[in-house]
Amino acid sequence: MARMMVRVLSTALAGAALTAAAVPAASAASAASAAARPGGGKGLDAKVQERADKLVADGAPGVIVMTRRGGRVAHVTAGVSDKATGAPADARLLFRVGSVTKTFTSTVVLQLAAEHRLSLDDTVDRWLPGLVHANGNDGSRITIRQLLAQTSGLNDYTPDPRVMADPSRTWRPAELIAIATEKPPLYAPGTSWNYSNTNYILAGMIIEKATGHPVGTEFQRRIFTPLGLRHTSYPTTDPGFPGPYVHGYYADYGDVSTQISPSSSRTAGGIVSTVDDVARFHRALFTGRLLPAKQMREMRTVRPVNDDGVVEDYGLGAARIRFSCGYGWGHDGGFPGYRTWTYTSADGRRQAIITYNESKFEYDKTFRADLAKAAETAFCG
């Protein structure tokens, strides 16, 4: 899924982009313990390493894969985190998780529902009166549940060229909503499905209205601190990173890591994290540590969807994906320069997190086929 603006960078960004240096061979940058099992069979790490190396051979500058099997956690890397220096990919580095943020946002909304501070059946107008009322869009007919489920009918603001005309611009949430509501709704609320980042910008605004606090404060208090996510943050305007990071690339635009204001993504895609922190959050969430049973049932009430060729069952800010060994729960995410895929079994014993630092492969059939093989191996192999 094209989760955050990976298709709409403008020529303004191209003028500021750095020229990419040559990438060292994948084998020189690989960093995994690929010990063979007794008897000569390849261990999981070796199999995942092959898949990660293939993605680098396909063109990804760097790849990081985290896997869990019960109590065993392993990391496999290939390629580089920085083309200019040749620094190898490193699982400890920060990256932009893109729309994986939506699961964090949905979790906070569902916590507020459990605390009776809002209802999923509340309308957008109940919390944001008059904001969604242009060109046939009607906030009095759209519920919070429909926002989280991507069934509001609202258009996505991200394809609009104005969003990336000045990548460093600070956007206010209401400005992004205004862009989305310039067009009529795609359908009556609740009657169909479309992936729209607009829904999650609204969800973030509702969190702030319901709590009286910035969303970042609620993320920190409810999720980051309780789970010990020491490397996870929610920047809203600063395009930099709070520590060492993976450099992200977008085709001929080059290194776009710190050129784009996260204000254009916010609660739809603004979180910065590491593979281990993302995995810890998902494991806690899907094993019931963050939400009561009623709200977990809401999150896991899914409908089958096909978005940009990705077939999955979409719930409330979380998706269920079928593998040969069972279902994985999670969300994928894209932000210019970054792409991430997350999978966690319902019992938390099996996980795979895959991230790479190039945005140009959304419609590359060879890369996507190899990515699917990597996900199957990492989650089930």
Which of the following is catalytic: 10, 30, 81, 99?
99
Residue 135: C-alpha distances to residues 141, 153, 192, 193, 200 (Å): 14, 13, 19, 19, 20
State the SS3 of the chain. CCCCCCCCCCHHHHHHCCCCCCCCCHHHHCCCCCCCCCCCCCCHHHHHHHHHHHHHHHCCCEEEEEEEECCEEEEEEEEEEECCCCEECCCCCEEECHHHHHHHHHHHHHHHHHCCCCCCCCEHHHHCCCCCCCCCCCCCCCEHHHHHHCCCCCCCCCCCCHHHHCCCCCCCHHHHHHHHCCCCCCCCCCCCCCCCHHHHHHHHHHHHHHHCCCHHHHHHHHHHHHHCCCCCECCCCCCCCCCCECCCECHHHCECCCCCCHHHCHHHHCCEECHHHHHHHHHHHHCCCCCCHHHHHHHCCCEEEEECCEEEEECCCCEEEEECCEEEEECCEEECCEEEEEEECCCCCEEEEEEECECCCCCCHHHHHHHHHHHHHHHHC
Contact 59, 358 (CB under 8 A): yes
Concerning whether 99 is annotated as a catalytic residue, the answer is yes
* Exposure on the CB side of residue 146, measured as CA atoms within 13 A: 22
Which of 161, 158, 201 has its CA nearest to residue 4? 158
Residues marked as catalytic: 99
